[in-house]
């Protein structure tokens, strides 16, 4: 009986362990986070801004230095090469060059809005907008 319970426990835990950080530890290289709660919110926010025509939407797009684009041109980025470049550029822009920074990237047209999901002093949100070269930042945004 104990053997059956032990086997049942292992079978029940297999999917949990297979998808956990134990099975897939985070790499120590700069790049993108797998998924964060705010990522989907940010995408919906910018999708909404693209369809709205009010002054608040225009100001927000100007602050983030992104153009008004079609909804299909607002998408999250998971390409490892782009993630590594964005993480390094973000570190330089905020003058905190941690070696293994993980970021979230939202592509809006030809611009990239890069955020660090771990940045939480005083509950502020910090984002940096880059062009595809990831050279100088086009905008650095701090808001609650």
Q: Where do the domains of the chain lie?
A: 27-143
Give ∠ CA 135-81-32 in degrees, rounded to 5: 90
**Spatial separation of the C-alpha atoms in residues 101 and 105, rounded to whole Å:** 13
**Spatial separation of the C-alpha atoms in residues 101 and 31, rounded to whole Å:** 7
The reported pLDDT for the residue numbered 69 is: 93
The reported pLDDT for the residue numbered 98 is: 77
The reported pLDDT for the residue numbered 95 is: 85
pLDDT in tens, the chain (144 residues): 666 655 665 656 555 544 444 444 444 566 676 665 566 778 888 999 999 989 999 999 999 999 999 989 999 988 899 999 999 999 899 888 777 888 889 999 999 999 887 766 555 668 899 999 999 999 998 876
Q: Among all chains, which residue has been given the structure tokens 């590594």? A: 84
Helix (H) or strand (E) holding 75: strand 74-76
């Amino acid at each position: 009986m104990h053997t059956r319970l032990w086997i049942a426990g292992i079978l029940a835990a297999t999917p949990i362990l297979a998808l956990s950080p134990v099975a897939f530890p985070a790499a120590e290289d700069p790049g993108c986070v797998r998924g964060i709660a705010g990522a989907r919110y940010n995408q919906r926010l910018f999708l909404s801004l693209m369809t709205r025509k009010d002054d608040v939407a225009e100001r927000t797009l100007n602050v983030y230095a992104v153009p008004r684009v079609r909804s299909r041109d607002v998408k999250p980025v998971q390409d490892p090469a782009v993630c590594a470049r964005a993480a390094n550029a973000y570190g330089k822009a905020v003058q905190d060059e941690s070696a293994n920074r993980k970021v979230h990237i939202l592509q809006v047209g030809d611009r990239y809005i890069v955020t660090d999901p771990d940045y939480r002093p005083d509950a502020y949100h910090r984002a940096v907008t880059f062009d595809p070269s990831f050279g100088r930042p086009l905008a650095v945004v701090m808001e609650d």
